[in-house]
Amino acid sequence: MRIILTNSQPRRNPGTELNLDWIDSVQMNHSALERRCATLSKRRSIKKDWQAAWLLKSLRCMDLTTLSSDDTPQRVRRLCAKARQPLRQELIESLGVKELNLRVGAVCVYHAYVKTAVEALKNTGIPVAAVSTGFPHGLNPMPRRIEEIKDSVTAGAEEIDIVITRAYVFAGDWQALYDEISAFRKACGAAHLKTILGTGELGTFRNVAKASLVCMMAGADYIKTSTGKESVNATLPVSLVMIRMIREYLEITGSYVGFKPAGGIRSAKQSLEWLILMKEELGREWLEPQLFRFGASGLLTDIERQLEHFVTALYSAAHRQPETYS
């Protein structure tokens, strides 16, 4: 099995001035987007060795996440242990990928558990991401949201997932949204900023496209579909909208922005569809954790199950799979 790994880090998105003419010119063809996504699994079939390799790629692009009301330090430490070794040792040896030092893209927790996660992942190189700014609704007062970001960064978080104020999108107040994200970016300092749009609540593809563009202009390092708490989370069509805005932004500014679908991605088959979409729309560089992440901890269970089937030709019982979180 041959897997290409790269350690190059793209230059961070510096942002641009707010360009209202560019935003107003954005148009989206709903039916064309849906037709494009409907053909993905039909035109591309990944089997056997190639499927196993792409599933390992999915694993490396995963943000292991626990964002439950009953989280505890013990649960966070168990999650971090899984992040350090996401597959069982015998499975790693059977696949012949021991030298790859497989690990996930990051561990994502609430602010209260950032220090716990940082200590558990010490010397592993796995970054800790913190959800901030009144997650999942993002309606806390602005000074409190800024303070929360700074506190998470001080505690050791290297990535900050923030929730935008959706009311600005509904009102078309792009200046207010731009100023908000710019302030969050400044508060992050060296930490990378992921902006959560809450696409299931934005109403139209055009709103999603415009919000994506404003976030990138304001300096977001990643744009992210959802909190995972909405009734509708990441879908292929809405992801395609955001991906095409990333491509347009790259073509015009030369700046790279990452993408993170989150919520509802639980099967290995789904992860392959997103990887195919990234490869075809943005290219090889967006198959690395520096520019692409899955926000889906439940996905790891099915990936491990499919890899075990690849090795043994048998599906393991559900009770043999690791505990998952949400």
The first and second tokens of residue 89, run together, are 């040792």
Residue 70 known to be catalytic: no
Burial 99-112 (b: 16+ CB within 10 A, else e): eeebbbbbbbbbbe
User: Looking at 115, 221, 260, 302, which residue is catalytic?
Assistant: 260
Residue 161 known to be catalytic: yes
The string of DSSP letters for 76-139 reads: HHHHHHHHH--S-HHHHHHHT-GGG----SEEEEEGGGHHHHHHHTTTS-PPEEEE-SSTTTT-
Burial 264-289 (b: 16+ CB within 10 A, else e): bbbbbebbbbbbbbbbebbeebbbbb
- Residues making up the chain, counted from first to last: 326
Is residue 151 a contact partner of residue 133, using CB atoms and an 8 Å limit?
no
User: What strand order describes the sheet that includes 128-131?
Assistant: 63-65, 106-110, 128-131, 159-163, 192-196, 222-224, 258-260
User: Looking at 82, 194, 210, 224, which residue is catalytic?
Assistant: 224
Measured CA angle at 276 (ends 273, 281), to 5 deg: 125
Residue 71 known to be catalytic: no
Q: CB neighbours (10 Å) of residue 299?
A: 22
User: Looking at 63, 161, 221, 302, which residue is catalytic?
Assistant: 161
Residue written as tokens 């639980």?
266
Residues classed as catalytic: 161, 224, 260
